[in-house]
A and B are shown apart, each in its own frame.
Chain A
């Protein structure tokens, strides 16, 4: 390994990047842009759910019931016209997410001391949303029933003290750990650092090498005395600098724009982010050994990075909730280890001693990737 040769390549590469200011701008703009879009756009908090009421009862009780929904911050009344066809059309259009159907005679039934049905029709296109809607509706009706039950017992002559216990003999206190207000933007913004650092860097290295292949300038490398190790290293250095800077910028976004708390060691964050960036760039180097054109390199980078980092990293779904194949897949990609570290440092405030196994997994992963890139890159023309 001759450092002078590596340095020459680094210089050439740096100059090439600098002379393409558009590319340089993009290399820094894209990660930040992603952070903004995904951070704001991927909010899975369900709120302001538009709904429609078909109140066939038009009584005091039914109005009180609807009022419970209207005043909740999770629901927003969009229509109350007594027209089933219109309501269903709005549901199909996606203008509303649920329809409340209050049947005729609701109040009468309740006054007669019997239970009365309330029908709720939910848009099930996106099952996650449907599940959350169900939970909210159930919670609101639960509250409504609790009040009615207390009223019922009060009239039977129980004391105020007894009422609380009578209506709810068992009570669940839920406490949120790590993300005390359960803000989805906190979970997402911190995990996004891992996702973006897996999407952009492989593209930079793989496209840079495949560009030389396509324009033919790679033949200069083939014919020169530079070894393949030196070549890969020289390609790596400038993009590593870009990616490391990006890691810092993304960190700043998460902390200052999305106000995610950071409760761990900053030094450990930097250390693991650098290893992860190296790993990600290495994947790009490896891709370039079998992709022949830049466009193929781009596509493979996107395919390798997007789906696994989005779906199997623990960003959307905790890895412990995945099924067997999903768990295996999650362990096959580096995103999961880094997202664990990120959530550990940002939200959980874990010490590096707890996160050590994840970090070691990243190191081993990186070494394997570089080994693969090294053995599959040849200074020979492939047939």
Chain B
């Protein structure tokens, strides 16, 4: 009972300390709301209004027909040009991403049944987008080409079924309309949680060291683990409230991300994650001597945790040595679980191994922290 009371008192102290730093409080609220909104609303990684220019030397019905296929929402015509130099200038300045060159005699080639060629120059200074532009352009031209084939054979479009060809039927699961905000908003929320749960406990611990209040804690009857537990509990309260606000206002309110699983389960998983992630934060706080060190150490720790989580880069695209490090990123398990709960509606058999691994990781880290802490302060 006494133990619980001690933890309770310490927890209240931590929360009060946090609430009284107004700048910090505002930054926290900002992170949970506006930051997530900004990150998810403005940026689209899928092909979306790629600006391009056309140099149509043919100027016939066929060439007009072809270039008309490059349209919204994937492409955005930025101008028909008269000299190719104009396009190169615009490509250099990054005003357009692609340049379609239709040579003279395009229609003539089609009529005389010679292969007509068109060229697309793609700006790949951003390789990911360049790839998508090239992919979509190829599809558009391939479709056009197929129709031309039918015309040349004097057939209509419905007669394509008469050819012994494979007809592709693609279905996208979990996010059928490929709403990018679903992905980005969730991943940003999880990153924000990671950042706060590592930075704040580390900072709180180092602040006690810098001010010497840690000595007071050491001579008081509280144990090391109670000090840690109080900091973790305080963090859990802050994060859970922040997460609820964020899910309510931004993720549900603004972006309508579906919750196919149970929200209560998500909150429970989040609690476990906060425990693990705080462990990392406290480890940093124990090692660092001042806040400047905390800052640098935290970003050193956060960057790999985020990038080894499989959010942006899937494991199969990573080199083996990086892939094996993924097991130590608690965010990897959290992200899998969260996307599972929100988008896939998974059950306990899916979540149990992941949350379990996360929890074990948390215990290991906390044990390590306790070891370092005792070594440093108790001797």
Q: Which residues of A contact B (CB under 8 A)?
A: 20, 22-23, 26-27, 29-30, 33-34, 37-38, 40-50, 65, 76, 91-94, 97, 109-132, 134-139, 141-142, 144-145, 148-149, 152, 162, 164-180, 182-184, 186-188, 199-200, 203-204, 207-208, 211, 214-215, 290-296, 298-303, 307, 311-312, 314-323, 325-326, 329, 340, 343-344, 347-348, 350, 354
Contacts of B203 in A (CB 8 A): 294-295, 298
Contact with A along B298-311 (1 / 0, CB 8 A): 11100110011011
Contacts of A322 in B (CB 8 A): 42-44
Nearest chain B CB to A205's CB is how many angstroms away? 11
Nearest chain B CB to A290's CB is how many angstroms away? 7
Extra contacts besides A138-B142, A298-B298 (4): CB < 8 Å:
A127-B45, A138-B170, A170-B116, A211-B291
Q: Which of A215, A303, A317 contacts B43 (CB 8 A)?
A: A317
- B131 on interface, CB distance cutoff 8 Å: yes
Contacts of A340 in B (CB 8 A): 94
Nearest chain A CB to B253's CB is how many angstroms away? 18
Q: Which of B35, B96, B160, B161 contacts A320 (CB 8 A)?
A: B96
- Indicate the member of A29, A169, A290 with the most B CB atoms within 10 Å: A169
Contacts of A344 in B (CB 8 A): 92
Contact with A along B114-128 (1 / 0, CB 8 A): 111111111111111
Contacts of A295 in B (CB 8 A): 21, 24, 199-200, 203, 207, 291, 294
Q: Which of A37, A124, A293, A350 contacts B178 (CB 8 A)?
A: A124
Contacts of A33 in B (CB 8 A): 300, 303
Q: Can you list 22 residue pairs at the A/B interface with Cβ under 8 Å? A: A33-B303, A92-B340, A97-B316, A115-B163, A120-B169, A120-B170, A131-B132, A135-B132, A135-B136, A138-B135, A166-B149, A168-B149, A172-B137, A178-B123, A187-B124, A207-B291, A214-B210, A316-B43, A318-B123, A325-B41, A347-B125, A354-B92
Nearest chain A CB to B358's CB is how many angstroms away? 16
Q: Which of B24, B41, B50 contacts A321 (CB 8 A)?
A: B50
B317 & A45 in contact (Cβ 8 Å cutoff): yes
Given A317-B129, A326-B43; A171-B178 close (CB under 8 Å)? no
Complex CA gap A37/B309 in Å reads 12
A50 & B316 in contact (Cβ 8 Å cutoff): yes
Q: Which of B27, B175, B318 contacts A43 (CB 8 A)?
A: B318
Q: Which of B119, B126, B127, B168 contacts A141 (CB 8 A)?
A: B168
Q: Which of A118, A132, A211, A329 contacts B166 (CB 8 A)?
A: A118
- B162 on interface, CB distance cutoff 8 Å: yes
A174 & B134 in contact (Cβ 8 Å cutoff): yes
CB closest chain-B residue, reference A47: B317
Given A127-B179, A187-B127, A298-B199; A22-B289 close (CB under 8 Å)? yes
Contact with A along B278-317 (1 / 0, CB 8 A): 0000000000011111111111100110011011111011
A316 & B303 in contact (Cβ 8 Å cutoff): no
Contact with A along B142-185 (1 / 0, CB 8 A): 10110011001000000011111111111111111011101100
A318 & B299 in contact (Cβ 8 Å cutoff): no
B161 & A114 in contact (Cβ 8 Å cutoff): yes
Q: Which residues of B contact A (CB under 8 A)?
A: 21, 23-24, 27-28, 30-31, 35, 38-39, 41-51, 66, 91-97, 110, 113-132, 134-139, 141-142, 144-145, 148-149, 152, 160-176, 178-180, 182-183, 188, 195, 199-200, 203, 207, 210, 289-300, 303-304, 307-308, 310-314, 316-319, 322, 336, 339-340, 343-344, 346, 350
Nearest chain B CB to A289's CB is how many angstroms away? 11
Nearest chain B CB to A340's CB is how many angstroms away? 6
Contacts of B176 in A (CB 8 A): 124
Contacts of B339 in A (CB 8 A): 125
- Indicate the member of A44, A121, A125, A307 with the most B CB atoms within 10 Å: A125
Q: Which of A43, A127, A325 contacts B313 (CB 8 A)?
A: A43
- Report the number of A-B residue pairs with Cβ-Cβ less than 8 Å: 406
Complex CA gap A177/B97 in Å reads 10
Q: Which of A94, A115, A165, A186 contacts B127 (CB 8 A)?
A: A186
Nearest chain B CB to A296's CB is how many angstroms away? 4
Complex CA gap A118/B43 in Å reads 33
Nearest chain A CB to B121's CB is how many angstroms away? 5
A129 & B314 in contact (Cβ 8 Å cutoff): yes
CB closest chain-A residue, reference B349: A89
A354 & B93 in contact (Cβ 8 Å cutoff): yes
Q: Which of A76, A118, A129, A298 contacts B295 (CB 8 A)?
A: A298
Complex CA gap A290/B139 in Å reads 53
CB closest chain-B residue, reference A188: B127
Complex CA gap A109/B166 in Å reads 10
Complex CA gap A293/B27 in Å reads 12
CB closest chain-A residue, reference B88: A177
Given A117-B169, A141-B166; A41-B322 close (CB under 8 Å)? yes
A131 & B38 in contact (Cβ 8 Å cutoff): no
CB closest chain-B residue, reference A329: B42
A182 & B118 in contact (Cβ 8 Å cutoff): no
Given A29-B300, A50-B316, A316-B43; A144-B166 close (CB under 8 Å)? yes
A211 & B115 in contact (Cβ 8 Å cutoff): no
Q: Which of A37, A94, A119, A170 contacts B118 (CB 8 A)?
A: A170
Nearest chain B CB to A334's CB is how many angstroms away? 16
- Indicate the member of A168, A176, A203, A319 with the most B CB atoms within 10 Å: A176
B317 & A312 in contact (Cβ 8 Å cutoff): no
A91 & B173 in contact (Cβ 8 Å cutoff): yes
Complex CA gap A60/B336 in Å reads 38
B126 & A187 in contact (Cβ 8 Å cutoff): yes
Complex CA gap A190/B136 in Å reads 26
CB closest chain-B residue, reference A314: B126
Complex CA gap A29/B299 in Å reads 11
Nearest chain A CB to B305's CB is how many angstroms away? 10
